[in-house]
Amino acid sequence: MINLKKGEGINLSKAHPNTTRFIADLTWDPSPVATQRVEMEIVCFLLTQQDDGSRKCAADEDFVFYNNLKDPTGSVTHNPDDWQHGDDTLRLDLAKLSQRNPDITEISVIAEIYEGIDRRQDFGHVNHATVKVIDADSKTDIAQFRLTEEDAQFTAVQLGSFVQEGGEWHFKAVGKGYLKGLEAFVIAYGLQVGTPE
């Protein structure tokens, strides 16, 4: 398994040419500094390339989270636990997605502290927050990216992205966080803010 740092990535199509189904698995441990239960989840945004070079969601349904457990093609599904046992997953069938919605060029994967702003909780209240990319068929760990102390102040962090470039899929570790929580990502990806948390 490859340990990724911010800015690093892996070409999944070349490193694992026979694998098109993956799991993005978020794990964490409660921190001793947390005085109340911390709930976390993994969510994602399916993005299309815009004329200005940016990438945004084409529709609300391209935001996959606990109130929308799969995208319109059924290629990306959210498989939540009960948010407190330190394991939350996304399942991705990239071949199916490329066939049914070839306009999707990026799947941005986010970890969120549920109601982090209201509860005054951030990533400093959890330890070892890590996303693993796993072969969904063989259950083999392919790569992992762990957040660092630099991310402690945030309530939502972009863990990484599955990115399609030249017909090949990559996973790139990002580690970009916002103090405004998931709402900031909703806005950045072109959606209207409702009640995402």
Q: pLDDT tens for residues 59-111?
A: 999 999 988 999 999 999 998 665 445 578 999 999 999 999 999 999 999 99
Q: pTM to 2 decimals?
A: 0.91
The pLDDT score that the predictor gives to residue 150 is 87
Residue 114 banded pLDDT, cuts 50, 70, 90? confident
Q: Using one digit for the tens of pLDDT, what is the confidence trace for 1-45?
A: 999 999 999 999 999 999 999 999 998 887 776 667 888 889 999
- Say yes or no to pLDDT of 131 above 80: yes
Distance separating alpha carbons of residues 173 and 106, to the nearest angstrom: 13
With 0-12 / 13-18 / 19 or more C-beta atoms within 10 angstroms meaning exposed / middle / buried, residue 118 is exposed
Domain 2-188 has CATH 2.60.60.30: yes
Residue 181 banded pLDDT, cuts 50, 70, 90? confident
Provide Rg for the chain, Cα atoms. 16
| Residue written as token pair 């941005």 | 108
Q: Which of 47, 134, 36, 46 is nearest to 87 (CA)?
A: 134
| Residue written as token pair 């990115």 | 163
Q: Which of 72-76, 169-173, 178-182 is predicted with the least confidence, judged by mean pLDDT?
A: 178-182
